[in-house]
Amino acid sequence: MRIRNPERGFTLLEVLIALLVLSFGLLGLAALQAYSVKANQSANFRSQATALAGMMLDNMRANRANIGSYYSDNYADVVCGAAPDTSSVAARDLSVWRAQIRCQLPLGRGAVARISDNEMAVCIRWSDSRWESASGSAAGVCSDDADTFDASIADGGTGAGADGQVSVFVVSSRM
């Protein structure tokens, strides 16, 4: 009596199923990598906005005698690398700051607003196109953004979020 050995190896169907499972796993890994790149770029933009806001607050503290000259509630569009306004120290600081925002953040714009007698807000807007479906807009004013995102000293001094299709970062400080 002869005993048959069971067949050895895999059938073509088993191999195809294993490839299908592997391909779904690789697709998930690729999606995770794409999300990671997107989140990393967005975090970089927020870090740049934080540094730029701190730079403006330092400039204002250094020129405290002329602090009223820094107030510019509207988001002005400045060209990256534009020559600074040299009419005063405050005008120069503001124009250099806005040009740096434009150079470092996509469609970036900045504004400074007075919130109360001894408190002011520094606001930065930019388009984070990896998260948004359309281009950024400069619609709005800094004082409204400070209210919208609760960026008063009583609420912690910072606020951030999205206003329509733009990312907004607001820092408030006592002067």
The 3 state secondary structure assigned to 93-158 is HHHHHHHHHHHHCCCCEEEEEEEECCEEEEEEEECCCCCCCCCCCCCCEHHHHHHHCCCCHHHCCE
pTM, rounded to two decimals: 0.75
Q: Where are the domains of the chain?
A: 12-174
Answer whether 72's CB lies under 8 Å from 98's CB.
Answer: no
50-74 confidence digits (pLDDT tens): 999 999 999 998 998 888 888 888 8
Which amino acid would we find at residue 138?
A
- Cα dist. 102→36, 59, 110 in Å? 25, 18, 9
Task: Give 114's pLDDT tier (boundaries 50, 70, 90).
Answer: confident
